[in-house]
Amino acid sequence: MDNPTFRLNVHIEKDNCSILLDSSGDSLHRRGYRIKGGIAPLNEVLAAGMIYLSEWDLESNFVDPMCGSGTLLIEAALMSRNIPPNLNREHFGFMNWKTFDKNLFAKVKGELISKQKKITHKIIGNDLSPNSIELAEHNAKAANVFENIELKVGDFKNFAHNLESGIIITNPPYDERIKQENINEFYKEFGDTLKIIFAGFDAWILSANLQALKSIGLRTSKRIQLFNGALETKFYNYKLYKGSLKAKYDK
């Protein structure tokens, strides 16, 4: 049912039953900007969680070289501009409750709008597929953050930029929904590109293909296990130092 006044969630595990009253009505993971999804779009809440786990400072440059429909870029722009998810959502279940205080809600919303920030760092997305970039543009406009995001069509191998440093968070194809001819070779090429084009960046990669991840050929700094729906995935961090790692510690 669309826009229910009450939604009851019932969880039963062995002898325990919990009954939860959801005051929002429609699910909160639906941010309202995904007008259309891509082939394998990330769940918006998972994308936001990945950004939190990366401990991104919300101020340095953010790049997703395989951005698909732009979920990570949009969540990054919302966070760094201090725009709470669903700020422009028109309906919550509690708005139908007798106790709903329209004026208080408008005041709280006004306060949140006044706390929005301007940003100067770059948020850049790139994808091989022009269709995906079109979707990303569409979704970024719906989320009101299109002005903060640059989008490019192209192979990650040819990604050109003039940034000194930043963070990369991306989820490459894992050979589940998007087939790659030689997935291990594809990840190896991505690892080589990271070393050459993105030296000085902090890179985070989400993938369900552990074997392919090994082909990246870079030393992991952190390893986190996450679930993309029912699919077990790994979220790995690689520090891409300029010059050799030895040179960094010899300083």
Ligand X SMILES: C[S@@+](CC[C@H](N)C(=O)[O-])C[C@H]1O[C@@H](n2cnc3c(N)ncnc32)[C@H](O)[C@@H]1O
In angstroms, give the least distance from the CB of 214 to ligand X: 19
Residue placing its CB nearer to ligand X in the complex, 34 or 81: 34
Binding site for ligand X (CB under 6 A): 38, 40-42, 66-69, 71-72, 126-129, 132, 155-156, 171-173, 178
In angstroms, give the least distance from the CB of 68 to ligand X: 3
Which pairs count as long-range contacts for 49-55, CB under 8 Å and 24+ apart, including other chains?
49/226, 50/169, 50/204, 50/206, 50/226, 50/235, 51/75, 51/76, 51/79, 51/169, 53/204, 53/224, 53/235, 54/167, 54/169, 54/202, 54/204, 54/237
In angstroms, give the least distance from the CB of 44 to ligand X: 8
In angstroms, give the least distance from the CB of 242 to ligand X: 23
Residue placing its CB nearer to ligand X in the complex, 93 or 202: 202
- Could you give the angle at the alpha carbon of 224 between the alpha carbons of 78 and 75, nearest 5°? 10
93-to-1, 33, 39 alpha-carbon distances in Å: 12, 19, 31
In angstroms, give the least distance from the CB of 119 to ligand X: 21
Residue placing its CB nearer to ligand X in the complex, 40 or 58: 40
Which of 216, 137, 167, 143 lies closest to 65, judged by CA? Answer: 167
Residue placing its CB nearer to ligand X in the complex, 51 or 240: 51
In angstroms, give the least distance from the CB of 132 to ligand X: 4
Residue placing its CB nearer to ligand X in the complex, 22 or 134: 134
Tell me the residue number closest to ligand X, measured at CB. Answer: 68
Determine the length of the chain.
251
Residue placing its CB nearer to ligand X in the complex, 155 or 164: 155
Beta partners for residue 144, in sequence order? none
